[in-house]
């Protein structure tokens, strides 16, 4: 690599060690390109997912589900967090070692800021380094949004999701501000660990993106677990006290309060662009603060790309991975792959049992003008799915929205054991034009969750047949 004591000239510079950026960096280094990856924290090699996101949170889902009533909550939680820390440390070191093992790759730890559209200054722990690159990838991810509730930002009881999963003490009383995916997942996790959990949601309902029948089943699961859900809640203040915080909120026209040991801000995440000096590079951002990109993930400077959460797309690790494929196609491929190629992209909410979706809901399909038929069954009534009984998890429901004329699968919502895996089968079928009848009549292993499709898709509960 062409370098001096405090400067480097390379082919590819990646700012941020996330999923998409590291995938491109590794691929290009293996092709012999000179690559630098900059990560500002030595606790974030590999990005959000293995350190403070998917891996630790889903590991905590697993650990919390194995706590028995006789297990002391604090002891079980402390043991579980310790185990999770071992996993994240292993992944973090593996990501660093994997990149450093590539002959033409260098990892710098420190904050990066653009000097111009080809040059970045890195305040590395070993001293300032100037990196000049032919291509630059911005892969800095996102940061938690802290609502502007009086007293919240300055409260010593405020925690972000990353902070909460790193503390060894289990909060006995946890308030969660925000009833989206993050809030619901953490509510389910910490309730199962033994905490008293209250979700404050400002809208009239959680699961408001789901059809009413799905939302009712999902909310009942949470409530039956002992989670308190306060919808239409206007949190007006968080007030620190002696050993606890008081959450003040308006609900049903009355001012109420709740004493808690921790307040989790779960109001979403925003693209992490602060301090990057994007203006110096001529890189435009959107009104929402994301790096503006086209369908090929090029920014307003064609040699600069943005991957992952920072470009304002869906905040999923697998989308960041697909971003890397698009960028690699631009750098060393045919240059035709684009974000517009994506269809039937699934998503999963890791409550217990998990809820996974793909495509359109019933409401969305009707609003789009489709004539439809709806197939749906409670998991407990699916005869062809004995696995649910074998693993003692019969809660939930499966639902398919089908095109009445063509038998095309328009969408599905699976609230069931193994839903995070089943949804991938449905997504693959949708992407490849597999009709609902084919999925219904396919041969699946037994006993498995997939064979539920043999029953559910035939269980038509509503039709627009005229």
Q: Which residue numbers are catalytic?
A: 446
CA distances to 15, 113, 114, 210, 403 from 39, in Å: 7, 12, 14, 37, 47
Residues with Cβ within 8 Å of residue 242, at least 6 apart in sequence: none
Residues with Cβ within 8 Å of residue 68, at least 6 apart in sequence: none
Other C-beta atoms closer than 10 Å to the C-beta of 140 total 28
CB 307 within 8 A of CB 27: no
Residues with Cβ within 8 Å of residue 208, at least 6 apart in sequence: 215
Take residue 277 and report the two structure tokens written for it: 């000096």
CB 405 within 8 A of CB 418: no
For 252-396, where are the E strands, in sequence order? 254-260, 262-265, 269-271, 304-306, 347-349, 355-359, 372-378
Handedness of CA 263, 264, 268, 274 (dihedral sign): positive
* Strand duo 158-159 + 196-201: pairing: unpaired
Residues with Cβ within 8 Å of residue 447, at least 6 apart in sequence: 385, 386, 387, 390
- 3-state SS, residue 372: strand
Take residue 247 and report the two structure tokens written for it: 């959450």
Take residue 190 and report the two structure tokens written for it: 């910490």
CB 374 within 8 A of CB 460: yes
| Cα–Cα distance measured from residue 109 to residue 131, given in angstroms and rounded to the nearest whole number | 13
Residues with Cβ within 8 Å of residue 126, at least 6 apart in sequence: none
Handedness of CA 322, 323, 325, 326 (dihedral sign): positive
């Amino acid at each position: 690599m062409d370098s001096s004591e405090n400067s480097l000239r390379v082919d590819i510079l990646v700012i941020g060690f996330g999923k998409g950026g590291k995938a491109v960096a590794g691929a290009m280094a293996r092709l012999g390109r000179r690559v630098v990856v900059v990560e500002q924290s030595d606790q974030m090699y590999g990005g959000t997912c293995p350190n403070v996101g998917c891996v630790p949170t889903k590991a905590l889902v697993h650990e919390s589900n194995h706590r028995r009533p006789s297990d002391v909550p604090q002891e079980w939680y402390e043991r579980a967090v310790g185990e999770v820390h071992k996993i994240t440390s292993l992944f973090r070191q593996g990501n660093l070692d994997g990149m450093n093992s590539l002959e033409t790759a260098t990892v710098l730890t420190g904050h990066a800021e653009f000097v111009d559209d080809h040059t970045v200054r890195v305040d590395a722990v070993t001293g300032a380094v100037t990196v000049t690159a032919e291509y630059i990838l911005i892969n800095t991810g996102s940061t938690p949004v802290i609502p502007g509730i009086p007293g919240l930002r300055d409260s010593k009881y405020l925690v972000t999701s990353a902070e909460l999963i790193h503390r060894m003490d289990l909060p006995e009383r946890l308030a969660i501000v925000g009833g989206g995916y993050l809030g619901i997942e953490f509510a389910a996790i910490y309730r199962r660990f033994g905490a008293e959990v209250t979700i404050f949601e400002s809208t009239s309902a959680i699961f408001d993106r789901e059809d009413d029948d799905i939302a009712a089943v999902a909310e009942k699961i949470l409530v039956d677990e002992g989670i308190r859900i306060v919808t239409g809640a206007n949190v007006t203040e968080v007030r620190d006290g002696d050993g606890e915080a008081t959450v003040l909120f308006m609900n049903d026209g009355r001012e109420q309060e709740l004493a808690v040991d921790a307040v989790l801000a779960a109001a979403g995440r925003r693209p992490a662009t602060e301090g990057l000096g994007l203006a110096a590079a001529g890189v435009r951002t959107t009104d929402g603060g994301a790096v503006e990109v086209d369908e090929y993930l090029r920014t307003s400077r064609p040699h600069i790309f943005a991957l992952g959460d920072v470009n304002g797309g869906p905040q999923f690790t697998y989308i960041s991975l697909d971003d890397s494929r698009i960028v690699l196609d631009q750098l060393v491929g045919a240059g035709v792959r684009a974000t517009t190629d994506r269809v039937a992209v699934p998503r999963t909410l890791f409550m217990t049992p998990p809820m996974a979706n793909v495509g359109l809901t019933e409401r969305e399909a009707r609003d789009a003008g489709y004539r439809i038929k709806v197939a749906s069954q409670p998991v407990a009534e699916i005869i062809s799915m004995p696995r649910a009984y074998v693993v003692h998890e019969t809660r939930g429901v499966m639902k398919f929205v089908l095109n009445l004329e063509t038998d095309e699968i328009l969408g599905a919502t699976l609230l069931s054991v193994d839903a995070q895996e089943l949804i991938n089968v449905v997504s693959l079928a949708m992407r490849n034009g597999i009709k609902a009848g084919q999925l219904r009549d396919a041969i699946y292993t037994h006993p498995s969750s997939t064979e539920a499709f043999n029953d559910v898709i035939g269980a038509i509960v509503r039709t627009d047949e005229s």
